[in-house]
Amino acid sequence: MTLRTLGGLSVEGVTFRREKVLLLLAYLCIEGPQPRRRLAELFWPEAANPMNSLAQHLVHLRGLAGALAEDGPRVVAGMACDAALLRDATRRGRAAEAAALYAGPFLDGLGIPLGADLEEWVYDTREALALEVRGALLTLGAQAAAHGQREAAGDHAAHALILAGAPPADELDLPRLHHLLTLAGHPLATQVERDARTLGLDLDAAPQTSSAPFVGRSSELAALSALTPGQFVWVSGHAGMGKTALLEALARSGGWTVLPGRLDLPYGTLAPLGAAPPGGAHAAALPLRDPHLKLAIDGWEGTDEATRAVLAQAARTRPGALLVVTGRLHPPFDVDAHLKLAPLTPDELANADLYAQTDGHPALVGAALRGQPLDLRLGARVRAYPAPVRDTFLLLALQDQPNLRATRAALGLTADDFARTLSFLTTEGLTSEAGRVYAAAATRDHLNQVQVHAALLHLKLGRALPEADAWPHYEQARDLWEDHDEARAACAARLRAQTLLKRGYPGPAAALLDTLADVASLAVPHAWALIGVGRYNDAHTRLKSLSEQAQGTPEALAVRATTLVRLGRAEEAVALAGQIGGSGPEAAHAASVKAHAARIREQWAEARRHSQIAADLWQVNGDEERELAELVMVARVRVKLGAEPQEAFRAVLASTNGMPSVRGLALVNYSQVLQEASQYQIAETVMLDALQDLKTAGDYAGLAGVHINLGVAFHQSGRLKIAVEHYQRAVGYLKGSGNLRHLGVVLSNLSEIEGDLSAFEDSLKMLEQAGHQELVAQIRRNAQLSASPPASTLQS
């Protein structure tokens, strides 16, 4: 429960009408624990027995759960109170919370007679709380003004001016109110001007409005707003980090004098304060003795030496004014506080797209908010730099995560020269300390318009980066390859394709290697990628480009055997797999081929034995994911041999926790054996679980397969509308994948539902041309089982 004292007097959620009892509780909540005698004399000064009156009222208070907490001779409140919460919020600088708590004047409408001392306490507390809320509202108004939110600033100021329970604004509040109301063009500004004239106050001229966008920096603004006279604060940040924008925001909030640094004359920076230059340092420092002056100097590096000396002296002596100075580097003397400006965070921007576009770089954020091309903020400066600096920046911009060693090598710079260049770019606000270019995408887009220069930079990077990271740059520079680049680029392409395959992206891997189909050394990885997207005939053709000697290597035998077994040529595949010995990855592939061939022949015991051998070999080679994938097939075959689906899959499902791609494969196969066991409802739930894991893994091929099988389940049960939805989702995942096997199944099933026999035959013809004769035969067998052909499913 909470005691409500603002705008009335009541206990939240309780009907309690005794005002004097609640007033006593309010006093305890706000003033803290009190001696009994003090309470009795304050509340019942004319009673015959004040202590007895207190005791009677405490009896009523004890009837409110948690209202009192006895402490010997003292009485302690045990209930929360809105006025006490408001005061705590103002002490902690939580202006918005304090303003929200104020529901009206303290103890408004109190209808009981009070003694003189108690009445004075009520009115003093009412005024004090209202003044605290007025201060909070003015703080909120200043923060809104700093961010260019003029209307909100005016609303807060108007609320502060006419706040119920507050006394008339005095000579300290009137200038702040006038600034905010005038900034917003609020009609109450004229009332403030009249009140100021009555008090003989001269208000500042109307503030300059600004539409410059300003976001974030709330903590920095709050810190600067909380400073007191005599303090000296330094604000540092590289170029473009928003130092000037922060001071402009301070100026909009009211009460600050902001002066840009000047180099042209001695004491020129301080000249607007009215100090006469002939007076030298003493005269220039005189205005800094004013404790009412809040002065910000923008740009230490651009400030004249004489002014620097005066500011350094002020840092030592603290003459009275509140001083803030900005600079790119650390302060050259001791200061009370040092604020370091860095790029804005995603939370500060509260706009994920804006952050992704600008990396939180304040200058770029401003450009984006004004609708300006980001390159306009950096391009002119970069073009003016010497060639080594410019090319360093551009090479860094071409990399998402810069490799500094490779960048230095690509430029041919010494370590010293490269370090100095990188430090310069960082100080200029173009890169982070780690060399990452802010909003690099905008620079890349601009650079790509100069194709030859961009390609040359990419080539330099490709040559210098490790082969595993070099392919994207070789790809961009293909027209500039020299003879000695061919072998290294091919190696980089192979490593890139292998990485894509391991991550479950066979489509991009196949597309990459399709562009290098004439490179014999890439035939094996190219074939693996083609197998991954179901282009088995293409894989078989690609392997024919190998020399006779190369076709006999274990790695070539393994991929040829896998291709043949996927084409349904089981005997040929097993014969090739039998030529592979040892215990390496090729031997594991060979065992997997033999298991696949056994499954085709429905030799379940043989299939289980070879899948287990393959799993053991993958374990020896340290490939846990492939080991578990084979154990999934072991579990599936165990069901064929009579095991219950739940018992067969329990161990392998437990082992795949934390490995979403393999777990998705396991769940798909588990669902299929449940369907075969007529456990349709459980199977559907398991398949939906598989969707979640495959989404987490980003396994598009797996997701397509799941949607196909879900479509089949709904297709066979007659729920054709839902089946079509799943087939169409599968098509979405298959776009650009090159997986003709999956696509052919989807299209044939859709054509069955639509009754389009011509499209059905076209889909089967596409599958036949891709070498999927066994799948076509299965679809045709299914089509003969009913007048309305049932859908075809996929086997993993």
Element (H, E) at 6: none
- C-alpha closest to that of 22 among 45, 40, 4, 36: 4
CA atoms of 5 and 14, how far apart (whole Å): 14
Q: What is the DSSP string of 549-612?
A: HHHTSHHHHHHHHHHHHHTT-HHHHHHHHTT--SSSHHHHHHHHHHHHHHHHTT-HHHHHHHHH
Q: pTM surpassing 0.85?
A: no
Same fold, 2-113 and 231-272+287-340: no
pLDDT at res. 525: 94
pLDDT at res. 216: 86
Strand partners of residue 460: none
- C-alpha closest to that of 148 among 324, 311, 332, 370: 370
Place of tokens 């430090």: 423
Question: Is residue 172 within 8 Å of 160, Cβ to Cβ?
Answer: no
CA atoms of 347 and 343, how far apart (whole Å): 12
Structure tokens at 748: 């044939």
Q: Taking each helix axis from N to C terminus, what angle separates 36-43 and 116-146, rounded to the nearest 10 degrees?
A: 100
CA trace torsion 527, 532, 537, 541 (10° rounding): -10
Element (H, E) at 422: helix 415-427
CA atoms of 107 and 237, how far apart (whole Å): 49
Q: How many CA atoms lie within 13 A of 26 on its CB side?
A: 26
Strand partners of residue 34: 75
Q: Which strand ranges, in their side-by-side order, compose the sheet holding 10-11?
A: 10-11, 2-4, 80-81
pLDDT at res. 652: 93
CA atoms of 525 and 543, how far apart (whole Å): 10
User: Is residue 411 classed exposed, middle or buried when 0-12, 13-18 and 19+ CB atoms within 10 A define those classes?
Assistant: buried
Homologous superfamily of the 231-272+287-340 domain (CATH): P-loop containing nucleotide triphosphate hydrolases (3.40.50.300)
CA atoms of 254 and 249, how far apart (whole Å): 9
pLDDT at res. 236: 95
pLDDT at res. 736: 60
CA atoms of 158 and 668, how far apart (whole Å): 65
E-strand stretches of 156-256? 232-236
Question: Is residue 64 within 8 Å of 1, Cβ to Cβ?
Answer: yes
* One-letter identity of residue 542: R
CA atoms of 204 and 175, how far apart (whole Å): 7
**Residue 746: C-alpha distances to residues 260, 458, 587, 692, 759 (Å):** 68, 41, 34, 21, 11
- 128: helix, coil or strand? helix
- C-alpha closest to that of 734 among 747, 723, 722: 747
Question: Is residue 630 within 8 Å of 636, Cβ to Cβ?
Answer: no
pLDDT at res. 459: 95
- 298: helix, coil or strand? strand
Question: Is residue 120 within 8 Å of 154, Cβ to Cβ?
Answer: no
The distance from CA 197 to its chain's CA centroid, rounded to whole angstroms, is 52
Q: Taking each helix axis from N to C terminus, what angle separates 451-464 and 440-447, rounded to the nearest 10 degrees?
A: 120
- Where are the domains positioned within the chain? 2-113, 128-197, 231-272+287-340, 349-498, 699-796
pLDDT at res. 790: 45
Write down the architecture of domain 2-113 according to CATH.
Orthogonal Bundle (1.10)
pLDDT at res. 655: 92
**pLDDT, mean of each 10-residue run, the chain (796 residues):** 91 85 93 91 90 90 81 84 93 88 94 90 95 91 79 93 93 85 88 87 65 76 88 93 88 84 86 68 89 92 93 94 94 95 90 86 82 62 83 91 94 94 90 86 76 90 95 93 94 93 80 92 92 82 90 93 88 94 94 94 94 95 92 95 94 89 88 88 88 77 82 84 87 68 76 72 68 66 50 51
Would residue 262 be called left, alpha or beta, if left means φ above 0 and alpha means ψ between -120 and 50 degrees?
beta
Q: What is the CA radius of gyration of the chain?
A: 39
